[in-house]
C-alpha cells in the first residue's frame, strides 16, 4: 500500500509540473518544428535559385556559341540582375571577356575581368581572372600593369601558367633574361598546367639561343720544367 501511495504521489507531482510547464514545452516543440521547416525551405530555395541561375548561364553559353552576341549579352545582363550572388555570373563575365578579346575589344575585356577579380567569392575564378587580365594587359602593351596585376599572386595549381605570363610580361618590356628565367620555371612546374607546352618550348629555345650560357674560362697550366731543359 505504501508503495502504491508513493507512485501515486509521484504521478501527482508530474501532473502538477506539466500543468505549470506544459505550454512552454509545446511552444518549444512548435518553435523547433518551425525552425526545421524554415531551414528546409531555405535549402530548397537555395537549390532552386542555383538551378535557375545554372539554366540562365547555359542559355548565355548557347547564345554565344551560336555567334549571337546581342542575345548573349542580354542574357548575361539578366543573369547579373536576377542572380547577382551566383558564381555563374563570374563565369559569364569570363566568357564575355573572351568574346571581347576575340573581337579586339580589349578595353571591354579588361572591365569584365577586373569585375571578377574584385568581386568574385570564388578564389579559383578570381585567380583565373587575374591571369587572363594580365594577358590582356600585355596585349595592350601595358607590361607594367600586367606585372602589377600578377604581383603577390599565389598561383597554386596555376603556377606554370603564372610563370609563363610573367615571362611574357618581361619579354614585352625587353628583359629577355628575366623572361627566360620565368619560362624555365614554368617548364619545371609544367604538369599539364601550361596551356601550350610546345609554344613554351619555342619561347625557351628562342631565348636560349639569344642568351647562351657563359663559357667557363679554362686555366692553362704551364708545362713542367724538366731537368734537361735547364
User: In the chain, where does DSSP find H-type helix?
Assistant: 2-65, 69-82, 87-102, 106-119, 123-139, 143-150, 159-173, 176-188, 197-210
d(CA 14, CA 20): 10
| pLDDT for res 228 | 41
| pLDDT for res 157 | 85
The CATH number fitting domain 49-144, selected from 2.60.120, 1.20.1330, 1.25.40, 1.20.1050:
1.25.40
Q: What is the pTM of this model?
A: 0.69
Domain boundaries, the chain: 49-144, 155-210
| pLDDT for res 176 | 93
Positions in the chain short of pLDDT 70: 1-50, 189-195, 210-230
Residue with C-alpha cell 530555395? Answer: 45
| pLDDT for res 39 | 43
Amino acid at each position: 500500500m505504501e508503495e502504491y501511495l508513493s507512485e501515486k504521489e509521484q504521478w501527482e507531482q508530474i501532473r502538477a509540473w506539466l500543468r505549470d510547464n506544459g505550454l512552454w514545452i509545446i511552444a518549444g516543440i512548435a518553435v523547433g518544428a518551425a525552425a526545421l521547416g524554415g531551414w528546409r525551405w531555405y535549402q530548397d530555395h537555395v537549390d532552386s535559385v542555383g538551378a535557375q541561375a545554372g539554366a540562365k548561364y547555359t542559355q548565355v553559353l548557347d547564345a554565344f556559341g551560336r555567334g549571337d552576341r546581342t542575345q548573349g549579352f542580354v542574357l548575361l545582363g539578366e543573369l547579373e540582375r536576377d542572380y547577382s550572388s551566383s558564381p555563374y555570373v563570374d563565369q559569364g563575365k569570363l566568357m564575355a571577356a573572351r568574346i571581347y578579346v576575340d573581337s579586339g575589344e580589349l578595353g571591354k575585356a579588361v572591365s569584365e575581368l577586373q569585375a571578377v577579380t574584385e568581386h568574385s567569392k570564388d578564389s579559383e575564378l578570381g585567380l583565373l581572372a587575374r591571369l587572363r587580365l594580365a594577358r590582356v594587359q600585355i596585349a595592350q602593351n601595358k607590361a607594367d600593369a600586367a606585372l602589377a596585376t600578377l604581383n603577390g599572386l599565389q598561383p597554386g595549381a596555376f603556377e606554370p601558367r603564372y610563370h609563363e605570363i610573367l615571362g611574357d610580361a618581361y619579354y614585352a618590356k625587353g628583359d629577355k633574361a628575366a623572361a627566360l628565367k620565368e619560362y624555365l620555371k614554368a617548364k619545371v612546374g609544367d604538369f599539364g598546367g601550361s596551356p601550350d607546352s610546345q609554344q613554351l618550348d619555342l619561347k625557351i629555345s628562342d631565348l636560349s639561343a639569344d642568351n647562351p650560357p657563359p663559357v667557363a674560362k679554362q686555366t692553362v697550366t704551364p708545362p713542367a720544367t724538366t731537368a734537361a731543359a735547364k
